[in-house]
Every structure is written in C-alpha cells, then in structure tokens.
Amino acid sequence: MTVVLFVFGLLAFIGLVIVHEWGHFIAARRGGVEVEEFGVGFPPKALTIKKKRGTEYTLNWLPLGGFVRLKGEHDADTEPGSYGAAQLSTKVKIMLAGVGMNLLTAFILFTIVALIGMPKLINDQFTVASDTKITKQNLYAGYVDENSPAAKAGIKAKDQLVSITNKEGVVSKIKTKDSLPNITHQSAGETVTISYIRSGQTHETTATLLSDQEVEASKKTDNPKGYLGIVPTDLTLQRSTWSAPIVAVGTMKQLTVITFKGLGSIVSGLSRGDTKKATEQVSGPIGIYVVLKDGSSLGLAFVLMIIAVISLTLAIMNILPIPALDGGRLFVTLLYRVRRKKLTPKIEERIHGTGMAVLLTLIALISIVDVKRFF
C-alpha cells in the first residue's frame, strides 16, 4: 500500500504541473490565441500523440511536468492568433490561469482531505470547532538519538509508538507528545517493554530507561538527553463535514501566510549573503521526493495533504514577480506598458533568460542541500 501511495503521489505531483499548464491552454484558446503544442513532460520529444485544431499533443522524455507553446509568445509579436497580438486583458487571463488552476486544485484537495481527516500540521490549524472531530491520533519516533535506550532497543525513526509497560505490568498508551516524557519519567532507570508498529506489523522490545540523575546531568552538557532518547512527532487527523470547504479556505490562508513569512526569511538570508541558511529553508525536487516517500507511510490523507500544499505553493510561487515565471512575465509586460516603452523580443528574452538561469542555479543549490540533508 505504501508503494502504491508513493507512486500515486509522484504522479499527482506531475499532474499538478500539467493542470497548471492546462489553465494556460484553456485561457489561450478562449482568448483566440493559437496553442501550437501541449506537452506532457519536458523535451526532448518522445512522440506526438495527436494533432487537433492546430495543436500538437506530445509526450516528452523528462517526466517533470508539462508545458504549452503559444504562437508568437513575445509581447511584441503582431501576427493574428499570436500571444503578442492579443489584448492586454487576454494576456493577463492567460498568465493568471495557471495560478488559478493550482488554487482551485488546492481548494478541492484540501476539502477532500478535510472530509476524510485532515492531518494537523500546525499548532493552531484552522478548524470549525462545532464540526471537527479527531478521528486518529498517533505518535511516531521522529528522531532517535544515537546510543540512546531507544536506539539500543532497535527502535527507528518513523516507528509508531503504541504503549510502554512498566516493571509492575502497568500498560500506558502513548497518544500525544506530552504523554511520552510523563510515562518515561515515571519509570526512570527501569527496564520497560515498548510496543511499536513498523510497516504495519506490531513489535515489542525492552529498553532500560535513563535514570533521573543521568537526565539531569545531561542537561548541563551540549547534548541533553531524554529518558528514552526519542524526539516524538504526532499525527492527528481532524475530520469535518459541512464545514470542509470553509476549513479548506482557512487552511489555505494560514499556509499562504506561513509561506510568505518563509520567503521573507529566505530573502533576508540571501541579502546577508547567508545562502546556506536560505537554501536549508526550502526543498527542491529531491526534497519533494523524500517527503512523498515518507508521507506515503502515513496514509492517503497525508499524501493528499502534501499534494494540496504543493499545489498551493506552485500558485504562490508563480504569482510572484520573478522573471521567467508567470508573475514575472506579467509584471514585465505591465511595467513596459506603464512606461510606454516597447518590449522587444531581445529585451524580453534577456530578462526571462536571466531569471531562468537564476532559478535553475537556485534549484541546483537546493538539490545539493537536499542530498546532504536526506542522504
């Protein structure tokens, strides 16, 4: 099941880019702009599926998304049916259509997730209290300290912690992050039995917890320790019914604010020349692959939530005035209109070519950081 969800997640991620390009495609067609090619994946071209109404539908070798190639994509083009010859209002609709499709997709996915059980990702995550029910609450080993009692007992990161049985045979269920330190503190220095789930199978192991004296002594060092040596992470699913669309909008608003705050932090880091800190706050294709791989073990709701967040992020990033992206193309077009200057193909290619080079460089740097972080 985990493998199926992982593959589904990867295909859905590719689908998000295709949906984005489909928005451009529909808006261009409705605006009278000819679409010369709608490609799934990026060139080189593998095969042509069909040609219809002047559009060539292709499959390409690099399965990282998709693209649309419009007739006369430069703002200065004047040939009938070209993008350049279209009215400014039509160009705005074409540029914003991809963002709109990603926002719509995110809204639909967040609504579905709210109906089946939305993972709680932030402490004050938006809910409608009268229509919210916690359907699942599990605790996982987020990080296992090396040479800790947990590590010696064979517990690994991503194992689901179920219960701890003390020497008197009293079983304590582990439900929240706060419950774990309370349970282990009560059995400090003792040997306990830990029940956990890995890959759907329930296991039991024994571990001798650190004593109160050992824990207190470690607090005076650079490496404070816990009784068990686990940094827990919890997975809480919150289900809504009639309020699901409202929860979707509220969650999207919260995540948008968080995203812009994160972007502000990244820009601040780059302005100080701290590229390492800036790149550590984001993830590229490798990071997305790892998140989907790890998330697939937590179930369908978590995978759908990840895809919804990615769709929202694609919309936010594409609306920013960054050259080579939709928002950047629109910004440059409007800027030259306001200045009443002609945006020649040479100038346009130089601006967006530079922007693309910067973006590719950032993606390369982020991918290097991701490799060091995850492998």
Q: Give the orientation angle of helix 285-295 with respect to helix 2-30, to 10 degrees.
A: 130
3-state secondary structure of 259: helix
Residue 163 pLDDT: 93
Contact 65, 21 (CB under 8 A): yes
Q: How many residues does the chain have?
A: 375
Amino acid 355 reads G
Amino acid 249 reads V
Residue 14 pLDDT: 79
pTM for this predicted structure = 0.81
Residue 263 pLDDT: 77
Contact 278, 262 (CB under 8 A): no
| Among 189, 192, 185, CA closest to 167 | 192
Kindly give the parts of the chain with pLDDT less than 70. 1-6, 9, 64, 269-270, 273-298, 363, 365-375
User: Can you state the percent helix, strand and coil of the chain, rounding each to 5?
Assistant: 50, 20, 25
What lies within 8 Å, CB to CB, of 85 at 6+ separation is: 72, 77, 78, 79
* CATH tag for 134-238 (out of 2.40.50.140, 3.10.580.10, 1.10.260.40, 2.30.42.10): 2.30.42.10
What lies within 8 Å, CB to CB, of 22 at 6+ separation is: 101
- Adjacent-strand bridge partners of 57: 38, 50
The C-alpha atoms of residue 78 and residue 164 are separated, in whole angstroms, by: 73
Contact 207, 228 (CB under 8 A): yes
Could you tell me the residue ranges of all domains in the chain?
Answer: 2-34+71-127+242-374, 134-238
Paired tokens of 27: 């808006």
CA distance to 277, 360, 363, per residue, from 264 (Å): 13, 20, 18
Contact 107, 248 (CB under 8 A): yes
The C-alpha atoms of residue 140 and residue 290 are separated, in whole angstroms, by: 17
Alpha helices, DSSP H only, in 272-320? Answer: 275-280, 285-295, 300-319
Residue 277 pLDDT: 58
Query: For 343, phi and psi rounded to 5 degrees?
Result: -90, 95
- The torsion defined by the Cα of 212, 213, 216 and 221, in degrees rounded to 10, comes to -140
CB atoms within 10 A of CB 108: 14
